[in-house]
Amino acid sequence: DIHMTQAPSSLSASVGDIVTITCRASQRIDTYLNWYQQTPGRAPKLLISRASNLQSGVPSRFSGSGSGTDFTLSISSMQPEDFATYYCQQSYSTPTTFGPGTKVDIK
């Protein structure tokens, strides 16, 4: 199975801050990398697919980049509703696997 790691595991930010989260795969996965946002008590929400494709309705302050083994999720200006936990997921091979998450809370 492909192992996914994320850094940092948590971070504190203020409204308006730029936030960057990284994700690394244990082997090359081309651009088969998705990002999800999860708030407490809710299901994960797909934000970005194939490393950089923003899903319909997701604000443009979210962006994704990367290929191979290293990926980045960026939020250009944190908004109150963005404080959540973010997960990466590789969709390159079965079983699909998720990272352990990055929790973004308010500074």
Footprint of other proteins (CB under 8 A): 4, 34, 36, 42-46, 49-50, 55, 87, 89, 91, 94-101
What's the chain's Rg over C-alpha atoms? 13
Nearer of residues 19 and 47 to other proteins, judged by Cβ: 47
CB of 50 or CB of 107, closer to other proteins: 50
What residues contact residue 34 under an 8 Å CB cut-off, 6+ apart?
46, 48, 49, 50, 88, 89, 90, 91
CB 69 → other proteins: shortest distance, Å?
18
Q: Is 53 helix (H, G, I), strand (E, B) or coil?
A: strand
Which of 18/46 has CB closer to other proteins? 46
